[in-house]
Amino acid sequence: MFLTQLTGGGALYSEKYGPPNMRARHIPFEITPVRAQAWLKIMHETLTETELIGTDGGKALFERLSQIAPIMINCH
């Protein structure tokens, strides 16, 4: 639902859970720089495997995820 909303496919996440303040929602989880980069790597691998990374939409999504990953870091 979050990715649908992030990519302009409707406010599914917000309708169910409220505003997507993802950093605050992830505070209970230790997200280190290493873990943020691991998540980003998995997202890139997924986009590559599904052949989306070669599309304009896939590139734009990965760029946005690359901006989000550092914001999510809450411990070092």
Instruction: State the pLDDT at residue 63.
Output: 95
**pLDDT 10s digits, 22-57:** 888 889 999 999 999 999 999 999 999 999 999 999
Sequence ranges of the domains in the chain: 23-76
pTM equals 0.82
d(CA 11, CA 31): 26
d(CA 66, CA 76): 18
Q: What percent of the chain has pLDDT over 90?
A: 75
